[in-house]
Amino acid sequence: MRAVRTTSQVGRQIVVAGGGLAGLRTVAGLRALRYDGAVTLIGAESRPPYDRPPLSKKLMAGQLDDTTLEPDLGSLGVDTRLGETATGVDAGPGSGGVLRTDHGEHRFDDLVLATGAVPVVLPGQGRQRFLRTIDDALTLRALLRPGLRLAIVGAGWIGAELATAAAGRGCLVTVVEAAAAPLAVAVGADVGALTTGWYAAAGVELRLRERVASVEPGGVALSSGGWLPADEVVTAVGVRPAVAWLEGSAVALDNGVAVDEQLRASVPGVWAVGDCMAFWSRRFQRRLRLEHWDGALRSPAAVAASLTGAPGGYDPVPYFWSEQFGRMIQYAGFHGGADRITVRGDPAEDRWAVFWLAGDVPVALLTVNSPRDLLQGRRLIEAGAGADATRLADPGVPVAQAAGG
C-alpha cells in the first residue's frame, strides 16, 4: 500500500466534473485513500454513474436492462449533483478556482475533469441515432425488430457491435464505411480487413469505400451520389472529447485536456481522467487520447494518489476489448510507431492474433478468441524487450516463449 498523507484534508474542496466511470472512480479513489475533505461530483446526465460497454452488447441483446455502477454515492460522502452541466472554469496561475455550471458555481481547490466524449454528428436533416448513453441504448433497442432497415454509418467498434445485436434481432442491417476495411481507423486497413468476412456471415451488408454525405429523412445520401433507404440511421463514426465547454479557459486543450504524466493540466490544481484526457505517454513518447474503459477505470487512481500525497503517475499499456459477431477481440499496446505486423494463426479460423512490431520489439497486439495470447503478449509489450517474430507467428509456441528476439 502506498504512503498516504496523514494530515486531515477537512476544509479542502475537490470538484469532479463528469459522472461517468472515470468520475466515479475518482471520487471512490479519493475516499479509498482516506481523503476526508469535501468532494462534489457534477454530472450532466440525470442518472448515477453507469457502465457503457454492455450498452452495445448484453443490453442491446436484451440480456440486461440496467448497468448502474454505484447507485448510492451518498455512502461515499460525495455531494452529487446530477443533471448539472459544467459550462466553464475560472482558474489562473494561482491554485484553486471556480467551476461554473448551468446551476451556479463551485469553488474548488482541485478540479478533476472527467467529461468523457460525445459522438460525432453527420450533416443532414434526417434523424440520426447514436449509441453513447443508456437512454440512447434503450431507445435503440426498443426499435430493433425483424425487417427493420437499419443503416449504421461507420464500421468501427460500436458499429460492429450494434450490427451484431441488430442482425441477431432480425433487422436488415447495412453498414456503410468510408475506409477500405472495418476498424481501419482503429487498427489500420490491413488488420481490419481480416474481419470483413464476419459481416456477410452474420447476414449484414457491409459497404466499404462508401462515404455518407448526409443523413436525410428516409435514408442516407452517399458522396458517390447514391442513396441508401433506411427506416433508422445510427451514426457511429467516432467520438470527440467533451471539452468544448473549456475553450477560452486557461486549461490547454490538444484533442482533449492536455495533461502530463501525472495527469495534471496546464493550470495548477486542474487534472483530467478518462476519455477526455490527452495524456503524455512516457512509454510511447507521444500524447495519447484513448477511448478505452480500462483508461477510465485506472487513470483516476493516479490522480487520487497525487491528490492525497501518494506517488501518482500514469504510464499504461493501453487495453481495449470488443465483442462482435460472436467473437472476443482484445487489443493491448499502441501500434502508432510500428513498422511491421506479424499474423499468428489463420484469420480464416476463429482464433488468431496480430502483433505489431517496431524493429523486433512488439508494441501492440490484437487477439481474436485468444485471451491467453493477449495476457502473455501484453506482458511482452510491458517489458518493452525484443521478440522473435517467427515464434510469435507460430500458434504452437506460447507467446511468452517468443521473448528475447
Q: Is there binding between residue 331 and ligand FAD (CB under 6 A)?
A: no
Q: Is there binding between residue 43 and ligand FAD (CB under 6 A)?
A: yes
The nearer residue to ligand FAD, 264 or 298, going by C-beta atoms, is: 298
Q: Rounded CA gap, 58 and 142, in Å?
A: 14
Q: Rounded CA gap, 250 and 236, in Å?
A: 32
Neighbouring C-beta atoms of residue 223, cutoff 10 Å: 11
The nearer residue to ligand FAD, 298 or 391, going by C-beta atoms, is: 298
Least separation in angstroms between residue 375's CB and ligand FAD is 16
Distance of CA 126 to the CA centre of its chain: 27
Q: Is there binding between residue 141 and ligand FAD (CB under 6 A)?
A: no
Q: Is there binding between residue 78 and ligand FAD (CB under 6 A)?
A: no
Q: Is there binding between residue 322 and ligand FAD (CB under 6 A)?
A: yes
Kindly report the CA angle at 144 between 171 and 290, in degrees rounded to 5? Answer: 95
Q: Rounded CA gap, 273 and 23, in Å?
A: 8
The nearer residue to ligand FAD, 320 or 355, going by C-beta atoms, is: 320
Q: Which of 219, 275, 325, 403 binds ligand FAD (CB under 6 A)?
A: 275
Q: Is there binding between residue 274 and ligand FAD (CB under 6 A)?
A: yes
The nearer residue to ligand FAD, 41 or 354, going by C-beta atoms, is: 41
Q: Is there binding between residue 22 and ligand FAD (CB under 6 A)?
A: yes
Angle between the N-to-C axes of helices 293-307 and 21-32, in degrees from 0 to 180, rounded to the nearest 10: 30
Q: Is there binding between residue 89 and ligand FAD (CB under 6 A)?
A: no
The footprint of ligand FAD on residues 173-232 (CB under 6 A) is: none
- Yes or no: say if 283 and 317 are a contact pair by the CB < 8 Å rule: yes
Q: Is there binding between residue 246 and ligand FAD (CB under 6 A)?
A: no
Q: Is there binding between residue 85 and ligand FAD (CB under 6 A)?
A: yes
Q: Rounded CA gap, 48 and 31, in Å?
A: 18
Least separation in angstroms between residue 98's CB and ligand FAD is 14
Q: Rounded CA gap, 308 and 302, in Å?
A: 10
Q: Is there binding between residue 369 and ligand FAD (CB under 6 A)?
A: no
Indicate the SS3 state at residue 25: helix
Q: Is there binding between residue 245 and ligand FAD (CB under 6 A)?
A: yes
Q: Which of 42, 155, 166, 173 binds ligand FAD (CB under 6 A)?
A: 42
Tell me how far CA of residue 3 lies from CA of 14, 91, 165, 274, in angstroms: 20, 29, 46, 24
- Yes or no: say if 245 and 126 are a contact pair by the CB < 8 Å rule: no
Q: Is there binding between residue 242 and ligand FAD (CB under 6 A)?
A: yes
* Nearest 10 degrees: Cα torsion 328, 332, 336, 340: -80
Q: Is there binding between residue 86 and ligand FAD (CB under 6 A)?
A: yes
Cell of 60: 442491446
Strand-by-strand arrangement of the 319-324 sheet: 319-324, 327-333, 361-368, 352-358, 340-344
Cell of 196: 470483413
Q: Is there binding between residue 117 and ligand FAD (CB under 6 A)?
A: yes
Indicate the SS3 state at residue 164: helix
Stretch in the footprint of ligand FAD (CB under 6 A) among 44-52, 147-155, 217-225, 370-378: 44-52
Q: Rounded CA gap, 188 and 182, in Å?
A: 9
Least separation in angstroms between residue 7's CB and ligand FAD is 30
Least separation in angstroms between residue 259's CB and ligand FAD is 13
Q: Is there binding between residue 18 and ligand FAD (CB under 6 A)?
A: yes
Q: Is there binding between residue 330 and ligand FAD (CB under 6 A)?
A: no
Which residues make up the interface to ligand FAD (CB under 6 A)?
A: 17-23, 42-45, 52-53, 55-56, 85-86, 114-117, 131-132, 158, 242, 245, 274-275, 291-294, 296, 320-322
